[in-house]
């Protein structure tokens, strides 16, 4: 659909984009990410022919963009800009109908039956008929954005270019708009290229991503390939953390607002009516296998109820194996290492396979520097504690 071949571009003598090469296939939702001023909007302008590259070329369907006439280009590509100027109080139907301009010729541009059919179809599709005769300025921001999208879609383009379409929209409108884009791509084969700021929205909806910094490509590919923690931290110059989304198979992007001290958590203990309670002075990322459907959380207090207890401590971890009043065996494991949720889950499965006697697992890990836990050492200590517990039970 779009082939970008070694383009550099900018304004006057200032170069913004530097030697970019990549391709966008048809029938995909393609996201462009990067910090403010990195060249995202400049790149989009080269796709529309509004800005001619200083070097290289942009081809649309195998033909250089600058070779298209304005009318022909408008039948292929529609643009949803970041800002919309509306000096007059047009109705929703009138604004939507403006998108049919590429199909009008001559001085008297009469609206015909085909125009009416297309406008009605798009307004129905975007649930806008209820606002057809309402002035545009009476609508909310999210509803207005749907009207401008309708105006673009009545051009019947094969390519839709959007410049930060979710900017200033409430979350519900962001999800609504991006869901529409996703549906148009998957059901009608439209190609959508959009500039986005929200990395989680991009990860959720986009098929592929382009990541820019200072006009240069820092990553291009599927979201799980582009949105790596180290890459995002370097591009945005902020402590970005990428993990697995808890509900869908896409990356989840968060940030760490400060550097976390890397040390063994200080565990204090107090007796309770049913056993002991271990307390950490820092929140620990915790997996509790008995908690369903949300097994993960941040915790500082770890109640350990027991009739019998075996424990082992080292600078790397603390193991507590308890037999409860009901006779079940539980494991509480506190690690001096940073585990991802998937790593903690994998560790619990390994331990469960080897120690079938254990009914419930609690695995807590520190924030801070990433360290690989010595799984074999853990298994050895768990086994020792379990045997000690069983030995006490026989006495």
| pLDDT at position 267 | 77
Mean pLDDT of 266-286: 85
The residue among 344 and 371 whose pLDDT is bigger is 344
CATH 3.40.50.300 residue spans of the chain: 2-255
Mean pLDDT of 158-175: 87
The residue among 113 and 42 whose pLDDT is bigger is 42
pLDDT tens-digit readout, 64-75: 998 888 888 888
187 burial type by CB count under 10 A (0-12 exposed, 13-18 middle, 19+ buried): exposed
3-state SS string over 339-392? CCHHHHHHHHHHHHHHCCCEEEEEEEECCCCCCCCCHHHHHHHHHHHHHHHHHH
| pLDDT at position 374 | 79
Euclidean distance between CA atoms 310 and 105, whole angstroms? 86
Percent of the chain scoring above 90 in pLDDT: 43
Percent of the chain scoring above 70 in pLDDT: 91
pLDDT tens-digit readout, 284-306: 999 999 877 789 999 999 999 98
Q: Report residue 2's pLDDT band, with 50, 70 and 90 as the boundaries.
A: very high
Cis peptide before 177 (omega within 30 of 0): no
- Enumerate the β-bridge partners of residue 303: 277
Mean pLDDT of 318-334: 92
| pLDDT at position 198 | 93
Examine the pLDDT at 43 and tell me if it is beyond 60: yes
Go through the chain and tell me how many residues it has.
Answer: 395
Mean pLDDT of 85-102: 78
| pLDDT at position 368 | 58
Q: Which range among 168-172, 297-301, 367-371 has the greatest average pLDDT?
A: 297-301
Examine the pLDDT at 34 and tell me if it is beyond 60: yes
Euclidean distance between CA atoms 194 and 206, whole angstroms? 9
Examine the pLDDT at 355 and tell me if it is beyond 90: yes
The answer to pTM > 0.85 is no
| pLDDT at position 262 | 43
The residue among 188 and 103 whose pLDDT is bigger is 188
Euclidean distance between CA atoms 81 and 44, whole angstroms? 10
Mean pLDDT of 162-172: 85
Examine the pLDDT at 86 and tell me if it is beyond 70: no
| pLDDT at position 168 | 77
| pLDDT at position 102 | 72
Euclidean distance between CA atoms 42 and 81, whole angstroms? 12
Closest by alpha carbon to 40, among 148, 196, 264? Answer: 196
Q: Report residue 395's pLDDT band, with 50, 70 and 90 as the boundaries.
A: low
| pLDDT at position 253 | 92
Examine the pLDDT at 206 and tell me if it is beyond 50: yes
Euclidean distance between CA atoms 223 and 210, whole angstroms? 9
The residue among 81 and 6 whose pLDDT is bigger is 6
Mean pLDDT of 110-120: 81
What average pLDDT does the chain have?
86
Examine the pLDDT at 87 and tell me if it is beyond 60: no
| pLDDT at position 107 | 44
pLDDT tens-digit readout, 122-158: 898 888 899 888 888 888 878 888 888 888 888 888 9
Mean pLDDT of 194-198: 94
Q: Which fold has domain 2-255?
A: Rossmann fold (3.40.50)
| pLDDT at position 141 | 79
């Amino acid at each position: 659909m779009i082939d970008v071949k070694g383009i550099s571009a900018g304004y006057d003598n200032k170069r913004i984009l530097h030697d970019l090469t990549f391709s966008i296939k048809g029938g995909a939702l393609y996201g462009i990410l990067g910090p403010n001023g990195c060249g995202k909007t400049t790149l989009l302008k080269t796709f529309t022919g509004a800005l001619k590259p200083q070097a290289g070329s942009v081809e649309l369907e195998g033909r250089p963009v600058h070779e298209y006439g304005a009318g022909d280009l408008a039948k292929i590509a529609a643009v949803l800009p970041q800002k919309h100027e509306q000096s007059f109080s047009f109705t929703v139907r009138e604004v939507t109908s403006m998108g049919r301009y590429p199909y009008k010729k001559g001085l008297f541009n009469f609206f015909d039956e085909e125009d009416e059919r297309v406008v009605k179809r798009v307004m129905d599709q975007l649930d806008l008929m209820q606002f057809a005769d309402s002035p545009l300025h009476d609508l909310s921001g999210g509803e207005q954005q749907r009207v401008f999208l309708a105006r673009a879609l009545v051009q019947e383009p094969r390519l839709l270019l959007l410049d930060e379409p979710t900017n200033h929209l409430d979350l519900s409108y962001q999800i609504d708009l991006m869901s529409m884009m996703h549906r148009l791509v998957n059901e009608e084969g439209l190609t959508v290229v959009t500039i986005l700021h929200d990395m989680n929205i991009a990860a959720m909806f986009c098929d592929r991503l382009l990541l820019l910094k200072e006009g240069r490509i820092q990553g291009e590919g599927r979201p799980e390939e582009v949105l790596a923690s180290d890459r995002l931290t370097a591009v945005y110059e902020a402590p970005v953390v990428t993990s697995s989304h808890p509900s869908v198979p896409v990356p989840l992007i968060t940030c760490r607002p400060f550097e976390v001290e890397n040390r063994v958590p200080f565990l204090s203990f107090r007796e309770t009516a049913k056993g002991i309670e271990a307390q950490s002075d820092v929140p620990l990322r915790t997996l509790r296998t008995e908690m369903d459907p949300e097994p993960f959380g941040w915790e500082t207090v770890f109640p350990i109820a027991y009739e019998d207890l075996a424990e082992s401590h080292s600078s790397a971890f603390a193991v507590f194996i308890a037999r409860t009043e009901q006779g079940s065996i539980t494991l509480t494991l506190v690690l001096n290492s940073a585990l991802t949720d998937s790593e903690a889950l994998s560790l619990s499965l390994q331990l469960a396979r080897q120690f079938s006697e254990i009914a419930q697992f609690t695995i807590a890990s520190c924030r801070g520097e990433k360290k690989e836990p010595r799984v074999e050492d853990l298994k050895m200590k768990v086994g020792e504690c379990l045997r000690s517990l069983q030995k006490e039970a026989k006495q």
